[in-house]
């Protein structure tokens, strides 16, 4: 082998590509461009999420109405018209079932619609009374006195044989 061939083998290495170009082509490398792209995409996704989440929350009850449990709370034979009521909790809300003068059962949330105190059924006066600001409600839940802006929230009742069930919340009137 001659000296010339030996020189051919020791050919001058090709110049390396510029570092930035190499980094951009290699899959795991983080370039400024890639960093900015990912950051911008992340910020856009968070922004869209913040915009869409409240809309989805607003739409959710329309798309899927709340499911209420059916709960037996009393028997007809244990109630007397405008007599003592039966206390119970419905969907974690304190509530009471009474029998109206005509023998119909009626159930209400005991949360006062004024500022949320717990009202009490007082059979001797035939009224629900609030201890906080002296509100009074008739047996059908209407405001008889005091500051509450609306009646007691009525629960839906159903009689099946002797059993009285609560199975939902009646929509507010008006």
Least separation, in Å, of the C-beta of 138 and ligand FES?
15
Least separation, in Å, of the C-beta of 146 and ligand FES?
5
Task: Kindly tell me which of 94 and 147 has the beta carbon lying closer to ligand FES.
Answer: 147
Burial of 8 (0-12, 13-18, 19+ CB in 10 A): exposed
Footprint of ligand FES on this chain (CB under 6 A)? Answer: 112, 114-115, 117, 130, 132-133, 135, 146-148
Least separation, in Å, of the C-beta of 116 and ligand FES?
6
Task: Kindly tell me which of 137 and 165 has the beta carbon lying closer to ligand FES.
Answer: 137
Q: What angle do CA 54, 58, 60 make, to 5 degrees?
A: 115
Task: Kindly tell me which of 114 and 140 has the beta carbon lying closer to ligand FES.
Answer: 114
Least separation, in Å, of the C-beta of 118 and ligand FES?
9
Least separation, in Å, of the C-beta of 150 and ligand FES?
12
Task: Kindly tell me which of 31 and 146 has the beta carbon lying closer to ligand FES.
Answer: 146
Task: Kindly tell me which of 94 and 146 has the beta carbon lying closer to ligand FES.
Answer: 146
Which three-class secondary structure string do you get for the chain? CCHHHHHHHCCCCCCCCCHHHHHHHCCCCCCHHHHHHHHHHHHHHHHHHHHHHHHHHHHHHHHCCCCCCCEEEEEHHHCCECCCCEEEEECCEEEEEEECCCCCEEEEECECCCCCCECEEECCCCEEECCCCCCEECCCCCEEECCCCCCCCEEEEEEECCEEEEEEECCCCC
């Amino acid at each position: 082998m001659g000296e010339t061939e030996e020189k051919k083998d020791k050919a001058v290495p090709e110049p390396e590509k510029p570092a930035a170009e190499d980094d951009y082509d290699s899959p795991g490398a983080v370039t400024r461009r890639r960093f900015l792209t990912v950051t911008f995409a992340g910020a856009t996704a968070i922004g869209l999420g913040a915009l869409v989440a409240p809309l989805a929350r607003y739409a959710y009850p329309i798309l899927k109405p709340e499911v209420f449990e059916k709960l037996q709370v009393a028997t007809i034979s244990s109630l007397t018209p405008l007599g003592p009521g039966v206390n119970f909790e419905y969907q974690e809300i304190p509530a009471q079932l009474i029998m109206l003068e005509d023998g119909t059962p009626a159930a209400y949330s005991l949360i006062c619609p004024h500022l949320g105190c717990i009202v009490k059924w007082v059979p001797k006066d035939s009224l629900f009374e609030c201890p906080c600001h002296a509100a009074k409600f008739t047996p059908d839940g209407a405001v008889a006195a005091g500051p509450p802006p609306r009646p007691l929230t009525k629960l839906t009742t159903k009689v099946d044989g002797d059993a009285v069930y609560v199975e939902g919340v009646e929509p507010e009137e008006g």
